[in-house]
Each structure stands twice: as C-alpha cells, then as structure tokens.
C-alpha cells in the first residue's frame, strides 16, 4: 500500500452540470500544498451549485462576464476564487464545458490533514478583525464556511483560474463515497436578494449530521443537542 496520496480527479470528473458536480464533490478530498511543502486537506461536506446564465444568484447571470468572474467561463476543473465583503475569499470549482459559466461553491470541509497549520491560518486571519483572534478555535469551526475554509487552506485570488486537474498546490483527490442516506439538499445560503424562485431552488448539498457544515440542515435537529421532548 503506497501512502496517503489518493487518485487525483481528472477533467472527466468536472465536465458535467453544476447540479450534478455539487453532489459528486461531497466526500472528495480538497488538497492544498503550501510553499514549504506542508499538505493541508479536508473532505468536502457542503457545496452549492450555481447554474450560470439562467441563475439569478450566479455571478454569471445573464452572461455577465467581467475580469472578476472570468474563470467561470473556463473549462470544468478550473478554480474560481473571488473576493467579497471587503475581507473574504470564496472558492468555486468550475463545472461543465468551456464557455458555460457554471460552478460549485465549496462551503465546508471536514479537516483531515495539517490541522495545526490550519489553526494558525485561521487565528492569523481572525486576529486582524477581531480582538479574540488568539483564543483556541474548536475543530468544527476550522473549515465550516466558504470563507473559513479559504482562510484555513490559505486560498486567495492568487489561485483564481488555476487548473485543479494539473496544479501541484491545489487539487482534488478521490475519497470514499458518502453513504447515500447521509446526503441532504436544500435552498442555498445568503442569496435572498436573488428573489424567487431561485431563492428556493434546492441547490445546496451537504452531509447530514456532520459537525463541519456551516449550518445544520433545515428542520433537522442536531444530533449533539436534541430538543427537549415530553414523555421521553
């Protein structure tokens, strides 16, 4: 048995509609290799599909094509990293074929490798905008959000447009499938301004009961703290 390095996901994996890719990415391993060789990795536990031209919530709605979202138009397997709220980065995996600006937002990871470095990265980021940046952070808050995981893995705009199928610093590896009965889907987060019906499209996907998702599933009670019930 060789080592921990898994099989890299190739171009064929990404060449499909964003809605399918978002589900297929659950359970796969995102790997970040730092300049000093440190390997950071986590399993994808939450994604969102952005459908492109016909999706009011997408940066490429109605064919919008600007310097910022240029990489959405590249081929499947390209990274689309953008800057928002004056302080955060978010990472997408481009789906489909060249010219079709569909993408999948990575919303949360279960960290598996390089946790101490991730803690350092998160603490450094928090220290800038918060006075409590040096307080210890529970593991389930390391990568449980699109901007948090970018902080933890040191993903910024320098990585925008890279080819995840060939790059040596940021890529995806195949990992064991998530059991089908743990797959969940529901409306996307933070896109209310897109209005109906897009606001309600069930294009968010996550692994049920994972403590690393950015938010618990709608209408579902977290296993860690069941709601009090009479007669039980």
Partner DNA sequence: ATGACGATTTACT
Partner DNA sequence: GTAAATCGTCATA
* Residue 125 Cα distances to 205, 208, 210, 217, angstroms: 27, 28, 24, 27
Minimum distance from residue 203 beta carbon to DNA (Å) = 10
Nearer to DNA, 25 or 57 (CB): 57
State the sign of the Cα–Cα–Cα–Cα dihedral 130, 136, 138, 143.
positive
Minimum distance from residue 98 beta carbon to DNA (Å) = 17
| Residue (of 119, 120, 121) closest to 140 by Cα position | 119
* Residue 26 Cα distances to 7, 158, 178, angstroms: 16, 25, 7
Nearer to DNA, 27 or 146 (CB): 146
Minimum distance from residue 161 beta carbon to DNA (Å) = 12
- The phi and psi torsions of 5 (rounded to 5 degrees) equal -60, 125
Nearer to DNA, 66 or 116 (CB): 66
Instruction: Give the side-chain half-sphere CA count within 13 A for 136.
Output: 4
Nearer to DNA, 3 or 196 (CB): 196
| Residue (of 35, 169, 220, 185) closest to 107 by Cα position | 185
Nearer to DNA, 8 or 68 (CB): 68
Instruction: Give the side-chain half-sphere CA count within 13 A for 35.
Output: 4
| Residue (of 121, 114, 75, 115) closest to 95 by Cα position | 75
Minimum distance from residue 122 beta carbon to DNA (Å) = 6
Give the footprint of DNA on this chain (CB under 7 A). 48, 50, 57-60, 64, 66-69, 72, 80, 83-88, 90, 92, 103, 105, 122, 125-126, 129-133, 141, 145-148, 157, 189-191, 193, 214
Nearer to DNA, 41 or 79 (CB): 79
Minimum distance from residue 1 beta carbon to DNA (Å) = 36
Minimum distance from residue 231 beta carbon to DNA (Å) = 26
């Amino acid at each position: 048995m060789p080592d921990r390095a898994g099989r890299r996901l190739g171009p064929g994996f990404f060449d499909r509609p964003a809605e399918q890719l978002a589900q297929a990415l659950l359970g796969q391993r995102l790997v970040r290799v730092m300049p000093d060789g440190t390997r950071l990795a986590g399993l994808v536990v939450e994604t969102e599909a952005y459908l492109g031209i016909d999706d009011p919530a997408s940066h490429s709605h109605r064919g919008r094509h600007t310097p910022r979202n240029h990489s959405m138009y590249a081929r499947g397997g390209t990274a689309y990293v953008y800057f928002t709220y004056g302080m955060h980065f978010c990472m997408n995996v481009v789906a489909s074929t060249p010219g079709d600006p569909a993408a999948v937002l990575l919303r949360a990871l279960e960290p598996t490798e390089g946790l101490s470095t991730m803690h350092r990265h998160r603490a450094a980021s928090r220290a800038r905008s918060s006075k409590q940046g040096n307080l210890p952070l529970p593991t389930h808050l390391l990568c449980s959000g699109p901007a948090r995981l970018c902080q933890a893995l040191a993903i910024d705009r320098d990585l925008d447009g890279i080819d995840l199928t060939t790059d040596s610093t940021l890529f995806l590896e195949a990992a064991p499938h998530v059991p089908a009965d743990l797959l969940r889907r529901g409306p996307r987060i933070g896109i209310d301004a897109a209005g109906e019906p897009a606001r309600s499209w069930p294009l968010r996907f996550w692994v049920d009961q994972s403590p690393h998702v950015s938010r618990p599933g709608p209408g579902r009670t977290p296993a860690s703290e069941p709601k009090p019930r009479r007669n039980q």
